[in-house]
Structure 1
């Protein structure tokens, strides 16, 4: 699609003003926002041309224009300038450098930050570990009633889990349990570990004094490990979006966000429009909703996704820049270096 430089500037201004204030943009507003002299009549003619091209739409309640679905796609592909200010970059770096986070904590923390900084709903998907195999288990005592379990898969995925036993467990029991689990479970697919543990429970009962406590703790840990890691944050932000003023529409969206299967069905339905943004970002349009996704890596084999869900009228440049940079920060936390999305080491240090 070929449009003139002036039309690009006018269109870009309309998109960014509408995403900011949620009000249709008219020629008088544009005259104040544009940094070059142009008459109201000329602006109206350009807006009419952009409407014919399918990039703008009229509303019933105003003479102004709003971007169409096609318009948002054009903006994201051709006009968007995604960048974050240095203070935001430093704040994100600081959050994740304060302490060592487990995978589960990183997923939840990322989700909370995204929803807070975008005022939208965020979804973070961690890697699916079910089809990996167990490579090593280590149980490190903290005191007589607690220990840290370290679970490692064949793909280098590591999970830490603190066990509170509620009763004294001897050092000998902890050592014997660790040896038994490594002897019997190594090489077992994560999704089958719980069933395998049930098979070896009689062996645990024969070798461990507190076998019931240790058995229940590890079964619980492996069940959590084998489930897809999903975090959702900022559902209530939907309440403040004019596009969700219809209570039935809002209720339906809340149900989708609270149910992983419904969410996948919603994003996978026929008729959705997806466009690629750079190497690892994607915009998915579902009716009057948009889902922005950014991929990130925990290691060379495992991939996760950051997602932001909101109306088509969202500040794409800010959201994409935030998600892209956060992905880099997460990869730094786990020591990966995919250099996706054009970021380099010098940018990450800023």
Structure 2
């Protein structure tokens, strides 16, 4: 039977099984369902309906119990057609408060979002900040604090701004800082961020000719640009994997940790040809990778730049809670950065 032909009762039974199994990690049997359903139905009828759901490929038997658990296909059907997302008012208010207490930098928002997600879902979260590598440098400003410290402000052609603190090992004069900034603005404006470090090497002789502390300034800017051209990734809640029965195999867990800690490996992992992806609403996606699931949500810092919230866990995760939380966090972040695409206060 195609899942689209399910009766209303079958849908309710299936939805109840998914939500109970994701909550307790134990196969769900007919006696448990009799207690959970809010309409009277016999144990025999429930067993018949579960058999239909199993034939449709939405449920699976386990070796250790007479109960059923959702299949990969079942989870996909649930998030596409049956899931209801809701976030309680206190959680909404606390999320708004966190981001509005003070003005966060981009890096801080990425890390803060990551910590909140892992804490509230009990899973591992990953947050990707906007990728500025293929934007072009538009302006550099350096503000001296004292002879050994300065703040550099980089602006790209798409309005992306980053601040970097310079701590020099030797005293650097205000004049040197001004001359260096003028030189870099003259030579680097319009250069893609990913090419700036190479271009810096080309203009190093010019810096040597014009600046007293050219080595110190050259090193400071090269380091800053290398960090600027690195994709912003934060990972939080790795230890939450330890509490998931699906990852009790220590070697399996080690492999997963390796993937989570390496941006290149993570992209390879999520881009495998045999992964199954399902769109949830307009900006969420579920990616199934074997017995793991990754839920992703996109958000915008401004009209040009977007970031991504991701939660990684077993296929058995509380999708309605995870998606509701990620959606609302995305809206709050967009509101904080003045984009407001999510509507007023994330509604």
Q: Do the structures match in fold with TM over 0.5? A: yes
User: How far apart are residue 346 of structure 1 and its match?
Assistant: 5.0
Structure 1 unaligned spans of 5+: none
> 1:345 and 2:347 equivalent?
no
> 1:162 and 2:159 equivalent?
no
Encode CA deviations 1:151-177: one digit per residue, 9 max, x unaligned.
Answer: 000011111111122333222222222
> 1:185 and 2:188 equivalent?
yes
User: How far apart are residue 28 of structure 1 and its match?
Assistant: 1.1
Counterpart CA distance in 2 for 1:223 and 1:101 is 22
Counterpart CA distance in 1 for 2:53 and 2:147 is 71
Q: Is the 8 A contact 2:259 2:265 kept in 1?
A: yes
Q: Which residue of the partner structure matches residue 43 of structure 1?
A: 46
> 1:324 and 2:323 equivalent?
no
Once the two structures are superposed, the pairs formed by residues 16-55 of structure 1 within 5 Å of their partners are: 16-55=19-58
Q: Which residue of the partner structure matches residue 271 of structure 1?
A: 274
> 1:241 and 2:240 equivalent?
no
Moved more, 35-44 or 202-211: 202-211
Out of 227, 232, 239, the position equivalent to 1:224 is 227
> 1:122 and 2:125 equivalent?
yes
Encode CA deviations 1:204-246: one digit per residue, 9 max, x unaligned.
Answer: 2233222222211111110011111111111111111000111
Moved more, 135-144 or 314-323: 135-144
Q: Is the 8 A contact 2:332 2:345 kept in 1?
A: no
Q: Is the 8 A contact 2:332 2:346 kept in 1?
A: no
Counterpart CA distance in 1 for 2:119 and 2:48 is 40
Moved more, 19-28 or 255-264: 255-264
Q: Which residue of the partner structure matches residue 104 of structure 1?
A: 107
TM-score, length of structure 1 as denominator length: 0.95
> 1:92 and 2:95 equivalent?
yes
Counterpart CA distance in 2 for 1:335 and 1:232 is 25
> 1:134 and 2:140 equivalent?
no
TM-score, length of structure 2 as denominator length: 0.95
Q: Which residue of the partner structure matches residue 67 of structure 2?
A: 64
User: How far apart are residue 347 of structure 1 and its match?
Assistant: 4.1
Encode CA deviations 1:256-287: one digit per residue, 9 max, x unaligned.
Answer: 11222221111111211111011110001111
User: How far apart are residue 141 of structure 1 and its match?
Assistant: 2.0
Count of equivalent residues = 344
Q: Is the 8 A contact 2:287 2:294 kept in 1?
A: yes
User: How far apart are residue 124 of structure 1 and its match?
Assistant: 1.3
Q: Which residue of the partner structure matches residue 77 of structure 2?
A: 74
* 2:64 alignment partner, SS class: coil
Structure 2 unaligned spans of 5+: none
Counterpart CA distance in 1 for 2:152 and 2:335 is 24
Q: CA RMSD in A?
A: 1.4
Counterpart CA distance in 2 for 1:335 and 1:147 is 28
* 1:336 alignment partner, SS class: coil
Counterpart CA distance in 1 for 2:336 and 2:220 is 28
Moved more, 289-298 or 325-334: 325-334
Counterpart CA distance in 2 for 1:315 and 1:64 is 19
* 2:164 alignment partner, SS class: strand
Counterpart CA distance in 2 for 1:347 and 1:204 is 49
Out of 308, 313, 316, the position equivalent to 1:313 is 316
